[in-house]
Amino acid sequence: MKTLLILLLPITMFSQQMIGVHYSEVMELENAKTRTTTDGDHFITSSGEYYLWVHYFNEADYCWFSGLYPNSQEAMYAVIEVFNEEYIVVSDTKWKIYSRGLVVDVKLDQDDDGSYLFVFFSESIKY
């Protein structure tokens, strides 16, 4: 588990820094792939051995929402352990991050298909 925690720590820091970041900066990251929804909204995905990131952008091309999809229960628990150590714990499924002058809310949620994800958003960055 400690090895997994060490591997996941950089990805948890990665998302924190993407809220409020311009599209062009996010595209410079390793494994970043741009995609478009059927509505024409663009987003960026990035994946690794234990996770998938999805970053959405507003009309001004700033990231307003990120989702972290761990690919296993073990990865999910490792992320929770890191969040509990690194961020402000609001509840068993919610955390707060203060970064770049923003308050970023993080919530463990369940997607439509039943998979778990961590959602990152800030009230300061509007869609």
Summarised one tens digit per residue, pLDDT across range 74-107 is 889 988 988 998 899 999 999 999 887 889 999 9
The pLDDT score that the predictor gives to residue 108 is 97
Distance CA 52, CA 13 (A): 14
Residue ranges in the chain assigned as alpha helix (H): 2-16, 23-27, 73-86
How many domains would you assign to the chain? 1
Q: Is residue 53 part of a domain?
A: yes
Q: What is the pLDDT, as a whole number, of residue 10?
A: 62
Number of H helices and number of E strands within the chain? Answer: 3, 8
Whether residue 54 lies inside any domain: the answer is yes
Instruction: Tell me the CA distances in angstroms from 17 to 29, 39, 40, 115, one per residue in order.
Output: 12, 26, 25, 24
**The pLDDT value given to residue 56:** 92
Model pTM above 0.85: no
User: Can you give the pLDDT at residue 51?
Assistant: 86
| Residue 127 counted as domain residue | no
Whether 90 maps to a domain, the answer reads yes
**Which residue range(s) make up the domain with 108?**
2-121
**What per-residue confidence (pLDDT) applies to 41?**
84
In a domain, 126, yes or no: no
**Residue ranges of the chain whose pLDDT lies below 50:** none
Cα 70 from Cα 117, distance rounded (Å) = 7
What pLDDT, on the 0 to 100 scale, is given for residue 44? 93
Query: Which pLDDT score, from 0 to 100, does residue 11 have?
Result: 61
Burial of 9 (0-12, 13-18, 19+ CB in 10 A): middle
